[in-house]
């Protein structure tokens, strides 16, 4: 009896969601991050598919890409919701200076370091842009576990991770535009394409976000708002793909429009927050499953270089940002950048998007980001605890001297 293709697809989707429940149980009972477990499940899928079945990389052909796009748009839309005028005024210049310093310095260290080590310019700039993304969930959970949410360091880190990925999306968009300009023989044409990719993304975000903000305040909470949230995500993902603009930037702009203009903006964000986890499960698993195991050994050198340079970049960025803040006011510890090492979904999304644009580097990019994500998700919370512990002991010493 012939088995329909969609039956296998549905079975695989159900299996992946079932395995995510198992991963959640294991993560709750061990110190292994849930995201790392989901990525490793994807790597297991890649092993079965490529080594045992002899098939090429990339499960759920024709379905994985839209699922990944939807997950990324959801994450970027929620990021845009953090950029409200009220929140930006609350964060103040200290967070802006510190977060932007960490992002710029760490991205420059990774990109310039990889280029000086002899890796291709496209790979170096892309990984430099990818490196600025942080996993806010890992940092936030660790800070609350340590009871440091009310300390000055804890508040600064919580505020920084809230906007860190937003800076990352902007820098990634600029990096892709620069690479498009650099790789084109026609300078004027390349400039126009780069302007369209960035300006078109902003325009799409405004065109979708402003009507959505108007509609949000006029819908009843519940199912109508849920339908609006799904429609919003589909319009952003489909529109960005159709117009060839940055979906991350478009979704972030739309999120900022809704957050600043809607009278009941929390409804849309709550619905998307409620809906996003199953899509993120597919995203992390499919990201791990997209590894090309045949070319994995080629990426060993660049992966090790990326991990070391990102750690150095975070350390240097935290030191530079703290120095700038301390020159104005306050006495921030110098090692705060090390608490911003966890890396997860946004970094993987950037690597996937860059891989679509530069397929010759797709397997290397995914290998670097998947391996480094597992490493940083494992080491990152430990570095957050060390940073908080040092700040706590430093505070006690100052009180003792006083």
Q: What is the DSSP string of 222-267?
A: THHHHHHHHHHHHHHHHHHHHHT--HHHHHHHHHHHHHHH-TTHHH
Instruction: List all residues 6 or more positions away from 194 whose beta carbon is below 8 Å from its beta carbon.
Output: 177, 178, 180, 181
Q: What angle do CA 30, 36, 110 make, to 5 degrees?
A: 130
Sole residue written with tokens 């505070």? 395
Q: Where is average pLDDT lowest: 117-131, 247-261, 306-320?
A: 247-261
- Rounded to whole angstroms, the Cα distance separating 389 from 147 reads 11
pLDDT above 60 (res 271): yes
pTM for this structure? 0.80
Q: What is the CA radius of gyration of the chain?
A: 21
Local structure of 132: helix, strand or coil? coil
**Residues 6 or more apart whose Cβ sits within 8 Å of residue 10:** none
Degrees to nearest 5, angle at CA 299 with 16 and 292: 35
Rounded distance, CA 152 to CA 154, Å?
6
- Angle in degrees, CA 78, 84, 89, rounded to 5: 135
Distance CA 343, CA 264 (A): 31
Alpha carbon distance 96, 164 (integer Å): 10
Report the pLDDT value the prediction gives residue 399, as an integer from 0 to 100.
Answer: 47
Nearest to 383 by CA among 327, 335, 348, 331: 335
> In this predicted model, what pLDDT tens digit does every residue of 333-371 receive, in sequence order?
767 888 888 887 788 888 888 888 888 888 888 888 888
Higher pLDDT among residues 108 and 348, named by residue? 108
Distance between start and end Cα atoms, the chain: 82
**How many angstroms separate the CA atoms of 305 and 3, rounded?**
46
- Give the pLDDT mean for 102-110: 90
- Domains of the chain, with CATH numbers? 5-401 (1.20.1530.20)
Instruction: Give the model's pLDDT for residue 58.
Output: 63
Per residue in 201-217, pLDDT (tens digit) is 889 999 988 888 887 75
Residues in CB range of 48: below 8 A, 6 or more apart:
none
Cα separations in angstroms, 114 against 71, 299, 361: 29, 13, 14
For residues 167 and 340, give the distance between their C-alpha atoms in angstroms, rounded to a whole number.
14
From residue 74, give the alpha-carbon distance in Å to each of 70, 224, 280. 6, 18, 9
DSSP 332: -
Residue 308's H or E segment, with its range, is helix 300-328
């Amino acid at each position: 009896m012939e088995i329909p293709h969609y039956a296998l697809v549905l079975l695989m989707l159900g299996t992946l969601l079932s395995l995510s429940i198992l991963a959640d149980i294991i993560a709750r009972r061990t110190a292994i991050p849930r995201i790392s477990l989901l990525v490793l499940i994807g790597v297991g899928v890649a092993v079965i598919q490529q080594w045992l079945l002899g098939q090429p990389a990339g499960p759920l052909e024709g379905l994985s890409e839209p699922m990944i796009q939807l997950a990324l748009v959801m994450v970027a839309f929620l990021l845009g919701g953090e950029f409200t005028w009220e929140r930006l005024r609350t964060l103040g210049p200290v967070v802006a200076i510190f977060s932007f310093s960490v992002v710029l310095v760490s991205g420059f260290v990774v990109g310039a370091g990889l280029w000086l080590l002899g890796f291709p310019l496209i790979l170096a700039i892309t990984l430099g842009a990818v490196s600025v993304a942080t996993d806010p969930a890992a940092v936030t959970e660790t800070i609350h576990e340590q009871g440091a949410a009310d300390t000055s360091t804890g508040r600064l880190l919580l505020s920084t991770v809230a906007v860190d990925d937003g800076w990352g999306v902007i820098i990634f968009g600029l990096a892709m535009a620069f690479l498009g300009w650099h790789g084109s023989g026609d300078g004027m044409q390349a400039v126009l394409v780069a302007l369209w990719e960035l300006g078109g993304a902003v325009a799409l975000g405004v065109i979708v976000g402003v009507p959505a903000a108007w509609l949000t305040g006029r819908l009843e909470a519940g199912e109508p708002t849920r339908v609006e949230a799904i429609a919003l995500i589909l319009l952003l993902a489909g529109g960005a793909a159709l117009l060839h603009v940055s979906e991350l930037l478009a979704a972030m702009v739309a999120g900022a429009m809704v957050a600043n203009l809607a009278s009941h903006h929390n409804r849309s964000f709550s619905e998307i927050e409620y809906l996003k986890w199953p899509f993120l499960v597919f995203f992390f698993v499919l990201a791990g499953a997209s590894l090309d195991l045949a070319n994995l050994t080629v990426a060993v050198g660049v992966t090790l270089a990326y991990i070391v340079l990102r750690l150095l970049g975070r350390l240097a960025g935290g030191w530079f940002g703290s120095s700038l803040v301390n020159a104005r006011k306050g006495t921030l510890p110098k090692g705060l950048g090390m608490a911003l090492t966890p890396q997860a979904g946004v970094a993987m999304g950037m690597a996937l998007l860059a891989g679509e644009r530069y397929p010759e580097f797709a397997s290397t990019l995914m290998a670097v980001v998947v391996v480094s994500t597992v490493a940083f998700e494992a080491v990152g919370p430990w570095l957050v605890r060390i940073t908080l512990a040092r700040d706590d002991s430093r505070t006690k010493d100052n009180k003792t001297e006083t």
